[in-house]
Chain A
Amino acid sequence: MAVIGKGAARVAAPYLFIGPALLGLALFKLYPIGVGLTASFFDYEAISGRKSWIGLANYRELFADPLFWRACWNTFLFNAVVTPLQVALALALAVLVNRRLPGIAVFRSIFFVPAVISLVVASIVWDLMYNPDSGLVNAVLAAMGLPPQPFLTSARQAMGAVIAMVTWKGVGYWMVIFLAGLQAIPAVYREAAVIDGAPAWSYFWRVTLPLLMRTIVFVVVADTAINFLLFAPIYIMTQGGPSDATTVLMFEVYRNAFVYFRLGYASAVSTILLVVMLVVVFVQFRLLRARFEY
């Protein structure tokens, strides 16, 4: 990479660029994160502020709790399905609308509508829609001649119902980023492919995808982080049920922090979540970078 400017300026340049943002992040995120996560080594009652060092006791208690392992499993299940699904659909939609067709701008706007409604509001509306008796989804199914489903009231369907809602909500959001990424692919490549007579799928796989890789890395990693920390839909629609079917680790963080006020224990769950996320993201960076060499 480049080397310009004299001595000190050359060395200082990158730090000056990242400085302001890093200052903000350090003050308002990293420092509170440090405080928040070290609480995991304490028995910390949030309200009274009483703290006492207990080392790894919170973690030991966590690993012995079957509810924690259930939450781990649910978290794994949820994320293994939602993130790939959202990324794939968002990419497909972006490619679909990234063309000149009459009225395409209207479609692009409509696809973005779910992203515009806040997650809390969307959860409230979907909670109503999933109502087995009076909800919109069963009304649509009935109109299509299909039997009504229990959705959120069934331990078997609840996770799937939440996944569907979260997918619906997120796809438009990521689509917009892929659209920006697609803009960076010069039109000249596309024209060349058309002249060559290359089929659309092959063009996509061998030209578009590699050129889009950096955007894909971003979307995969960011979506992973967001989905691991997702909480509002479960809080509003299922409260972790039925029978712990939708309890994910983030819900346990919330429950321990704000229902039980055991901040130390909640921090322990959050720390574990962070470690898992970092591992997953590290793997994602490695895997996706490998595809780069073309």
Chain B
Amino acid sequence: MSAHRGVLRIALLYGALVAVALASALPFLWALGASLRENAAIFRDIRPLSLWTFVPRAPTLDGFAYIFGVDRFHRYMANSLFVGLAVTGLGLLVNSLAGFGFARFRFPGREPLFVAVLVTFMVPLEIIVIPLYIVVRGFGWVDSYWALIVPAVADAFSIFLLRQFFQEIPQELVDAARIDGCGWFGIYWRIALPLVKPALVTASLLAFIRQWDAFFWPLVATSSPEYTVVQVALSKYITEFVTFWSYLLAAVVSASAPVLVLYFLLQRYYVQGISTTGLRG
């Protein structure tokens, strides 16, 4: 009886997985198929639903050829990659230090300062864009990588996430390190960081995605093609009178691919059992 139960459970499990996978992927699959069609064929075959809704009858790489060959879309992807890595790399250090600080210390002003941190992700960019632009201009960073990177490094979202994970570290481990004569930075660097590796990976991945998706701030803060980021670049295919769907869809697929690859490569940090928590059994 338990064998039947087991098979049924597995079948239900896979059934659920497949259903969710379809719901997650269908829009992207359509966009992928559409990016391989010639412009006039893009919205064909959607209704009635068939295999041809997702598979182009006469696939073509024209859209991709145009955006990479003529518009050199890879330039913009490279810009976003550079900015994303810089923000994420610097952010890893800055935000984990702050997360550790909020998690493991009691100090005067801790609550108000943490609330101040939370407030920074509760006010929309539209309200702060003009004063922020003036600050950035004051540094002379308008239309440069600095404008895209520096304001984004300190990030409340990452600080908050890492704080939650740093809070989980058992006090015994910290006390043991103290007894061994470890300073606070040593505890942070050698004990705490390794213990929250999944959280560090997650925070970095999500911070990278936030940068990759950035649109309004880069639009306002930069103008030259050399600093244009990927989301701004692809929005240029929507013009006053016509949307160049073939190019837009090719750009969308191209813009999504690197992040998906990155996520797949980072999978191993999410697999149960590979990361250690440092606890005895």
Chain A residues within 8 Å of B, Cβ to Cβ: 1-2, 4-5, 11, 13-18, 20-25, 27-33, 35-37, 39, 46, 93, 96-101, 104-105, 107-122, 124-126, 128-129, 133-136, 138-140, 142-143, 168, 172-173, 176-177, 179-184, 186-188, 214-215, 217-218, 221-222, 225-226, 228-229, 231, 250, 253-254, 257-258, 263, 266-267, 270, 273-274, 277-278, 281
Contact = CB atoms under 8 A, between A and B. Distances in A.
A219 to B, nearest CB: 9
Contacts of A21: 94-95, 97-98, 117, 154, 159
A275 to B, nearest CB: 10
Nearest to B27: A125
29 contacts: A17-B105, A18-B97, A22-B113, A22-B154, A24-B150, A30-B116, A32-B128, A96-B20, A100-B271, A107-B21, A114-B28, A116-B259, A118-B215, A120-B235, A129-B30, A136-B30, A140-B26, A168-B23, A179-B198, A179-B202, A181-B165, A182-B272, A183-B270, A183-B275, A187-B272, A215-B165, A225-B118, A228-B122, A229-B124
A135 B21 CA distance: 20
B154 A28 contact: yes
A48 to B, nearest CB: 13
A181 B196 CA distance: 9
A214 B165 contact: yes
Contact of B127 (A24, A36, A116, A217): A36
Contact of B47 (A30, A31, A142, A187): A142
Contacts of B279: 186, 188
Interface in B227-274: 231, 234-235, 248, 252, 255-256, 259-260, 263-264, 267, 269-273
Given A18-B113, A96-B17, A176 B132 contact: no
A95 B222 CA distance: 42
B101 interface: yes
Nearest to A216: B164
Given A30-B120, A33-B128, A138 B159 contact: no
B104 interface: yes
A107 B122 contact: no
B27 A129 contact: yes
Contact of A2 (B95, B123, B132, B178): B178
B48 A18 contact: no
B76 interface: no
A136 B53 contact: yes
Contact of A25 (B23, B97, B156, B277): B156
A17 B235 CA distance: 40
A31 B116 contact: no
B51 to A, nearest CB: 12
A188 B257 CA distance: 37
A168 B279 CA distance: 36
Contacts of B16: 96
Contacts of B107: 11, 14-15
B21 A117 contact: no
Contacts of B234: 121
A229 B122 contact: yes
Complex A-B, nearest 8 residue pairs according to Cβ-Cβ distance, in ascending order: A24-B154, A17-B101, A21-B98, A14-B105, A32-B128, A28-B151, A180-B198, A18-B101
A217 B98 contact: no
A117 B215 CA distance: 13
Contacts of A16: 101
Contacts of B116: 22, 25, 30
B123 A274 contact: yes
B107 to A, nearest CB: 4
A18 B131 contact: no
B70 interface: no
Q: Is the interface of A mostly helix, strand, loop or mixed?
A: helix
B153 interface: yes
A76 B255 CA distance: 34
Contact of B102 (A5, A18, A105, A225): A18
A218 B164 contact: yes
Given A136-B53, A225-B121, A214 B21 contact: no
A147 B160 CA distance: 45
Contact of B128 (A29, A125, A138, A142): A29
B122 A4 contact: no
Given A1-B104, A32-B132, A36-B131, A214 B164 contact: yes
Given A24-B94, A24-B154, A214-B164, 9 more contacts: A23-B154, A24-B151, A32-B128, A96-B13, A109-B260, A121-B252, A136-B27, A225-B118, A257-B126
B270 A176 contact: yes
Contacts of A182: 272
B15 to A, nearest CB: 11
A105 B267 contact: yes
